Structure 1
Amino acid sequence: MTILQADTSAPEAQVYDFRRPTTLAREHSRVLELAFETFARQWATQLTAKVRVLSQVTCEWVAMQTYDEYAASLPATTAMVLCELDGVAPKGVIQFPTTAALSWVNVMLGGHGAPTEGERTFTQIEHALVRRLMDDALEDLRYSLGSLLVTPIAVDAIQYNSQFAQAAATAELMIVAGFDLRVGDNVSSATLALPAVVLLPQLGETNPTSSAENARELVDAQLAHVPVDVSLRLAPASVRPSVVLGLAVGDLLPLPHPQHRPFDLAVGGHPVAEAALGASGSRLACVIVRTED
């Protein structure tokens, strides 16, 4: 007798919630990339001014991840600045190596910024200086995101264990941006994570569409507000090139337009009406006397 065993190697199907997509639309991704690139430049300027060492920050990527995925990608020991958002349970996170922050503090206190060995927590003075740097970074973030970040944000606490720092529920969607930091000779990586629920509503619909039922009315309404060039024209005269090439100041060029005939009113080179010359205050004007069908 043959005993059939169940195939345990088959992939397990995962439930996908279409109401909470885990990838960014291309339009949303580009808008966020531009905003975070602006933040990177502002942050670099702030670090240069505060640490007093030439700094450069570059935004490398932007993605949407669950908080569980984000936390799993971080080192076990690192500096995680938890940022509180008014009226929102999940917190934002600014993450960078503690060794990088300690080198910044070392320079601020008059040292040479030599990298420290191993990760460790901050002392009270180091904590205060790093928190001040993060307060300034959040000011840059608010400026860079502009209307995308309408919720007030502030530093809440600094944690050092990425697995224990519960900034959000494991399934909470986060907008995560990765940065390369160069402060003097020290190079490190940093990440910024913000709850998607805070940013996505300001991004609007990905592909907004309009009903085609009233397409003609929409086109007519749009055309009615498009500016066009309007001109008054005399009847054209036919002349030889030799006459044009021989024109000089004082020459008379007879035109076949009768004195009693109105001018042609043209839009985009096409006659649409006839008009008589007049005045409106100190400016010339025309009076429509006949329109084309």
Structure 2
Amino acid sequence: MRVVREGTPDGTAGRQTSGIDVFDFGRPTTLAREHSRVLELAMETFARQWGTHLTARVRVKSRIVSGQVLMQTYDEYSAALPSTTAMVLCALEGNTSQAVIQFPTAAGLGLVVHMLGGNGSQPLPNRKFTQIEQSLVLHLMDDALENLRYSLDSLLTVPIKIAGIQYNSQFAQAAAPSDLMIVSFFTITVGGVSAPATVAIPAEILLPHLGAANPLDTAVHCRERILAQLVHIPVDVSLQLTPTTIRPGAILNLAVGDVLPLPHPKDRPVDLAVDGQPLAAAALGSKGSRLAGIIVTTEENPR
């Protein structure tokens, strides 16, 4: 909650009002740890596959490194991109939102230069692709989509295909501003030149399948799972004599050699207790060179 001070028409300070930011718990804006890990592994596989195929296509050693995986609204994602950039829009069957493969236009021109036999030593401008350049870049993006389908496997169940390319991040309406996107960051290195890239996929496409990737037991199995864990947890067990009550003065005056009489009969078993709760009775015995307790009776725990 944030506090906003409203001003009066004459410019003086007015009363304070509370502005409330609405949070939809049904649409969290962060990924669960286990879901994030699954997506990171998938994107690492995608980066390796894409880098291998890119090397074969441009005939120059290429390497793609996967970075962070986040969940953002489309508005947050597009606002963080450069105003001029290459955004390959990918249509998802049955969905109005589109996936995006984004990279600098200069990096795309560098790929074209290497495909045509150049060495990429000259600086390249940030501009739109010509028809020939766009055709070559989209051909490379077809390979990238194949690698993406393979890497996401059961997480991406709908057909995906290239729908076009945009060069202005503010005008490319791949999704509604409030739609959640799974955004993955990459670093593409071709011929020693590195450039950042991103892949954004509508969260509604991937999130429903992440539960299947990390299955959780239903509430029916909770009791059995808890009991299965509890039986392996170590606990402190003690053998206790019947306690006695003495005055504080006797404690303060204790000296070496003093004897404290205990009301515990010699022929009575001692209590076996867990966390101070008696659970059984035991007779004193031995096991090898160690003192031991032999269970003679057990008590039903009412808790």
TM-score (norm 2): 0.67
Q: For residues 217 and 162 of structure 1, what CA distance do their matches in structure 2 show?
A: 49
Q: 1:212 to 1:137 in 2, by over 3 A?
A: closer
Amino acid aligned to 1:120: R
Q: Per-residue deviation at 1:163? A: 0.2
Amino acid aligned to 2:151: S
Q: For residues 76 and 84 of structure 1, what CA distance do their matches in structure 2 show?
A: 22
Q: 1:161 to 1:216 in 2, by over 3 A?
A: closer
Aligned-residue CA RMSD (Å): 2.6
1:57 aligned residue: 64
1:101 aligns with 2:108: yes
| Structure 1: runs of 5+ lacking an equivalent | 221-293
1:6 aligns with 2:14: yes
1:124 aligned residue: 131
Q: For residues 131 and 203 of structure 1, what CA distance do their matches in structure 2 show?
A: 29
Q: Per-residue deviation at 1:219? A: 8.1
Q: Per-residue deviation at 1:110? A: 1.2
* Range moving further from structure 2, 46-55 or 108-117: 108-117
- Is the CA contact (8 Å cut-off) linking 2:50 and 2:144 kept in structure 1? yes
Find the partner of 1:77 among 73, 81, 84: 84
SS across alignment from 1:174: strand
2:186 aligned residue: 179
Q: For residues 27 and 189 of structure 1, what CA distance do their matches in structure 2 show?
A: 26
- Is the CA contact (8 Å cut-off) linking 1:84 and 1:92 kept in structure 2? yes
Q: Per-residue deviation at 1:218? A: 11
Q: 1:203 to 1:214 in 2, by over 3 A?
A: closer
Q: For residues 133 and 29 of structure 1, what CA distance do their matches in structure 2 show?
A: 27
Q: For residues 146 and 221 of structure 2, what CA distance do their matches in structure 1 show?
A: 47
- Is the CA contact (8 Å cut-off) linking 1:103 and 1:114 kept in structure 2? no
2:241 aligned residue: none
Alignment of 1:216-231 (within 5 A): none
1:154 aligns with 2:158: no
Q: Per-residue deviation at 1:13? A: 3.1
Q: 1:69 to 1:123 in 2, by over 3 A?
A: same
Amino acid aligned to 1:211: A
Find the partner of 2:218 among 210, 215, 231: 210
Find the partner of 1:46 among 48, 53, 71: 53
- Is the CA contact (8 Å cut-off) linking 1:102 and 1:116 kept in structure 2? no
Q: Per-residue deviation at 1:213? A: 8.1
SS across alignment from 2:13: coil
Q: For residues 145 and 213 of structure 1, what CA distance do their matches in structure 2 show?
A: 30
Alignment of 1:127-276 (within 5 A): 127-204=134-211, 208-211=216-219, 215=223
Q: 1:193 to 1:5 in 2, by over 3 A?
A: same
1:24 aligned residue: 31
Q: 1:156 to 1:214 in 2, by over 3 A?
A: closer
- Is the CA contact (8 Å cut-off) linking 1:102 and 1:115 kept in structure 2? no
- 1:23-59 per-position Cα deviation (integer Å, ceiling 9, x unaligned): 0000000000000000000010011000100011011
Q: Per-residue deviation at 1:114? A: 2.8
Q: 1:190 to 1:5 in 2, by over 3 A?
A: same
TM-score (norm 1): 0.69
Q: Per-residue deviation at 1:185? A: 1.7
Q: Per-residue deviation at 1:210? A: 3.4
Q: For residues 78 and 66 of structure 2, what CA distance do their matches in structure 1 show?
A: 19
- 1:62-118 per-position Cα deviation (integer Å, ceiling 9, x unaligned): 000000000001000000000000001100000000001101100111111135443
Q: For residues 75 and 173 of structure 2, what CA distance do their matches in structure 1 show?
A: 10
Find the partner of 2:99 among 92, 105, 119: 92
- 1:165-189 per-position Cα deviation (integer Å, ceiling 9, x unaligned): 0000000000000001101121100
Q: For residues 60 and 18 of structure 1, what CA distance do their matches in structure 2 show?
A: 27
- Count the aligned residue pairs: 218
Q: 1:11 to 1:33 in 2, by over 3 A?
A: farther
- Is the CA contact (8 Å cut-off) linking 2:71 and 2:180 kept in structure 1? yes
Q: For residues 58 and 11 of structure 1, what CA distance do their matches in structure 2 show?
A: 45
